[in-house]
Structure formats: structure tokens, C-alpha cells
Structure 1
């Protein structure tokens, strides 16, 4: 039978072989299926000292074997028997005690071994059933120079000699110290049984019927044309769909548009928020903070807002709600303004003397006192805002795409 990675790394008894090594410079060992396959091949021979199988994908493999005469030994017992040889390892001389064996121990704790694969096999030997345990390590250990064993580790603070190929120092549950970890999972997270990790974005892609940051929430509803909202079992529908399960085809709500310009829909808010709060509110309504790319749109919006100013009912009576956020921000490190969609600024309508707050006022508003020309403002300021639904976005409602 093949020894599975779960039973090796998650079982507390197996992990204890690492926990007792408080001062050793060790690397976190990753389970390797190819090594497990090689171990299985060797175990199938039922020979404890037999020749190791040819491993074409590994240039230097280390081996540990253990034979249990009664067949009642567990893999944890076998690994502990190897580790228990540590009492016969003399660190200062780098040798085993006289008439003692310690090479199994030195291979288990070999600091630069990063991958392991194990297997066991029931064997019939001279009419009796026994069990052989085999582990393969890569890179291997137990190297000798001029008849002397290379030291398997160095004493000192844990993780102090991790190399640049490591992703950091990893601690296992209540492990007293840490282990050098290779960058197999730079996100340091798992998506469980119902998700797949996107290592480039460090986000989980959940299976149907599951949601949550780690795909840990199971939902009884399904989102036919949409996705779940964060940790909730409620749907965020794709463009053109609505209903509890996003199964209903809906039309674009043109009645909500305050101004239509060349097929684009502009919705003026009656509430106030910070710049990023306004941006989030527009996104929640399947739009974006307004972008102004030409003088025509600037003139029409300025005229509409000036007519609206005396009659609009504002739910937030903050003193600065006469102004309106647009989706433009200043990027201090690059020293330029850019629209939220990433587009560069090709048209501008800054008021006279503006912008004048770069680095302090990094968000842009339509300023009522300047005829609704642009002004850079602190992003935490409470302003009204304008959401834009572009004509191309509205067309998606008709296509249902």
C-alpha cells in the first residue's frame, strides 16, 4: 500500500518527529508522489537492503527502510524508530556511537532534504508475515567526505540559515520552532475540499454551491447567471439578470437615468460619501464613477447640475455636498492623473489654479463654486457623486452577456 501525504503530515504522531527538534536547522518537507512511487517500487521487493530503483527524475535520493517482523507496526512507529537513533548520534564528532546505527536519524533530520515520499508493503518471508516501510528523500543526505559524515544540520536559532529559494519560516500548529519552507504555496492558504487556489491572485475559486474566502460556506441556492456575494449565500447577478438566483432576464432600468448623452446613462446621487465609498456604491449599482472624456459631456453635466442645485433633495446635509465626485485620481508615484478604469487623461477641465493639492488631495470633484469645473480634493471628503452606465455596458443587458 502507498503511504498517503495526509496520514504523514497531518497525523499528530508523525508531526512530533519535527516538534522535538527545537534547535535544528530543518526545511519543511513536501510530499512528493514520484518519490512515493519509487518507495513503493522498492518496498515491493520486500528486501530491506535491496538496490534502490532507478529514479530518472532525481539525481540524489536518500533512503530509509524499516522491517517489522510481526506486521503490527504503524508508519509512525517506523519513523519514530528512525528518529530514536538520534540518541546514538554524536553531534560534535559527526559520528554514531560505537556499535550503533544512526544513519536513519541523520536522513530524517537532514537539513537540505525538501521532498519525501513513502510506502509500505506486507511481505511473506520464510512463512511469516512481515511489513516493510520505505521512505525516499530528495535531495538525499548522509554524504561523507574523507570517511567522515557531513553534518546533517547546524545548531543555532531556527530558520536562521534558510536560503533564498525558501518562502519563509513555517510553523506547524503548536510547533515550538519553525521550519524553512519552499515556495510551493506562496499564498500560505488552502481552499479546502471545495475550491482551487489561484496562486497568482491568492484567491480561491469555489466549486458550485460554495462561497467564502476559503470556500468554506455551503449554500442551498444556486446563482444561475451570477456569483455569491463574499461570505453570503445571496447572489450578485451578471449584467442583464435578476431574481434571487439570477435566473430572470431583466431590462436596463432607463428610468433611473438622470441624463442620457450619446447612449450613456448618468445617475446623480442624492446621498454623500467619501471618494472610495462613492466608487463602491456605483460598482454596487453595476456602474462606475463618471468619466468625462470631452467638452460636450462636461458642458451638459455642468448645466444639469447647476439647474439641479437649487432643487435636489439631499439626504446627507454635510456642508460640502454641493460638489460631485468623478472617477479620476492622482497617482503620486507616477505624477499623473488617471481614470479608475486605468485610462490616461486626454481631456481635462480643471478650474483656474487647479490642481493644487497633489499628494494631499488625490481625488477629483466637480466643484460647484467653479461652475462644476474640476478640483483636486481630499478623498475622505463627503461629496455627492455621479454614476455612469456606458452605452457598451447597457448593450450587455440586451445581449445577456
Structure 2
């Protein structure tokens, strides 16, 4: 990346296509394959909030309430570097944690990170917005700070199963684009991992509060 000014790397309009395309390429190649992996699209609002946080140079995770907008909660991946990294390299760094991940188990080595990977490949996340900034260098701060927001966020209770394994687009055969589903649910994600079973039949009508706790399963 020598010779590429940070202003160009952090120009949202100049980089959003490569950011979205890289995410979708990686999501489409998960192993085992995913039956329900949604295709990501750019979110201007998520990117706007990510840009504000990147410029703050607070190189630790933001509060959940700082990421929310229009009824959506959002997850967050952060990347800090002493050198200018391309967006493709940043996103692939998140994905590289797959080497410590086993589907159905989670982290192979519990002392090593996997949450950047599981957020990137969380099946229900269909909106992404990223931004970066150049920060003052200190003992606690690297020079370059990259922030990506994912909406809706991963469900920490089901980390070993970030998607349903099976044939690509097996759950969306009529809404499939290059191995990714295009039939996203416009409702926020479920609060509980067993929402799909709770919502079967007329569960959403019978169980008080289930519509609020399991909006994705009840409406989609």
C-alpha cells in the first residue's frame, strides 16, 4: 500500500464496492458450505456511524447502543495497524481466524480469537458499513484504525454455528446469487437460539412476548 494516501483508503464511496465484494466472496466460500448465508449489501448509516467511531480513535469496542439505528442492532470488527493496509487485507485478516474455528465446536484453541471470523460469516448479517481513520500514535494507539459494522450482529450464544451447513443456498433456492441468499429478513435478529423451534406452528401467536423475543422467526 506504499503511495496510497490514507484519505483514499478512508473514502467511503471509493471503497464500499471492494468492501462489500470481499465480504461476499469470503461468505460464499465457507467450509462446510452454508444453506442460509445472506448476501451482504452496503449500509450508509452503518458506515456513517463507523466513520464517527473511527475518527474518535478509541481503539476498543464501542458500546452496543452506539451502533444501533432504525431498529437494528449491529456487531463490530476492529483492526488496528502501524501501516496502511488495504480493505481487502483488513477483511481477510478478520476471516483468517477460521484457522482456529471448527464448525459445531467453536474455538479450537480457546486462548485464540475467532469472533472476527464468526461475525464476518454470521448468516443473518446482511448490511455492512466500514470506515477508517489516521490516529495520533501513543502506547495504546496504532496509527491506522479500521472499523466495520455488521447488521444484525452475530448471536454469541450460537458461536459454534454461525450458519446452517449444507448445500449452498439450500434454504433459498429461488433467491440465490453466487451461493448467497438474497431474501434477507427486515426484522432484527432473534434474542434466543431456539427461536426457530419456539416459533413453529402458531407459537408466535400463543406465547406472550415471543413476537418481541423472536422477531425474525415470527415474521420471516
Instruction: Look up the match of 1:89.
Output: 101
Q: Which has the higher strand share?
A: 1
Q: Which has the higher helix share?
A: 2
Contact 2:104 2:160 in 1 (8 A): no
Contact 1:143 1:150 in 2 (8 A): no
For 1:15 and 1:59, locate their aligned partners in 2 and report how far apart those are by CA, in whole Å. Answer: 20
Q: Deviations over 1:92-141 (max 9, x none)?
A: 32335231100000000001111111111111122986111111111110
Instruction: Compute the displacement of 1:47 (Å).
Output: 2.0
Question: TM-score, normalization: structure 1?
Answer: 0.39
Instruction: Look up the match of 1:159.
Output: 169
2:177 pairs with 170, 177, 181, which one? Answer: 170
Instruction: Compute the displacement of 1:6 (Å).
Output: 2.1
The CA RMSD measured in Å over matched residues stands at 2.6
What is the number of equivalent residue pairs in this alignment?
169
Contact 1:96 1:102 in 2 (8 A): no
Q: Report the 3-state secondary structure (helix = DSSP H, G, I; strand = E; otherwise coil) of the residue aligned with 1:77.
A: helix
For 2:149 and 2:113, locate their aligned partners in 1 and report how far apart those are by CA, in whole Å. Answer: 19
Instruction: Compute the displacement of 1:51 (Å).
Output: 2.2
Alignment of 1:40-189 (within 5 A): 40-52=51-63, 53-70=66-83, 72-126=84-138, 130-144=143-157, 149=159, 151-162=161-172, 168-171=175-178, 178-182=179-183
Instruction: Compute the displacement of 1:142 (Å).
Output: 3.7
For 1:3 and 1:155, locate their aligned partners in 2 and report how far apart those are by CA, in whole Å. Answer: 33
Contact 1:34 1:117 in 2 (8 A): yes
More RCO (CA 8 Å, sep 6+): 2
Contact 1:2 1:118 in 2 (8 A): no
Q: Report the 3-state secondary structure (helix = DSSP H, G, I; strand = E; otherwise coil) of the residue aligned with 2:124.
A: coil
Instruction: Look up the match of 1:250.
Output: none
Alignment of 1:203-282 (within 5 A): none
Q: Deviations over 1:238-271 (max 9, x none)?
A: xxxxxxxxxxxxxxxxxxxxxxxxxxxxxxxxxx
Contact 2:67 2:75 in 1 (8 A): no
Unaligned stretches of 5+ residues in structure 2: 1-9, 185-220
Runs of 4 or more above 3 Å deviation: 13-16
Contact 1:114 1:182 in 2 (8 A): no
Q: Report the 3-state secondary structure (helix = DSSP H, G, I; strand = E; otherwise coil) of the residue aligned with 1:125.
A: coil
For 1:133 and 1:58, locate their aligned partners in 2 and report how far apart those are by CA, in whole Å. Answer: 24
Contact 1:58 1:138 in 2 (8 A): no
Unaligned stretches of 5+ residues in structure 1: 172-177, 184-401
Question: TM-score, normalization: structure 2?
Answer: 0.67
For 2:19 and 2:91, locate their aligned partners in 1 and report how far apart those are by CA, in whole Å. Answer: 10
Contact 1:112 1:139 in 2 (8 A): yes
For 1:141 and 1:6, locate their aligned partners in 2 and report how far apart those are by CA, in whole Å. Answer: 23
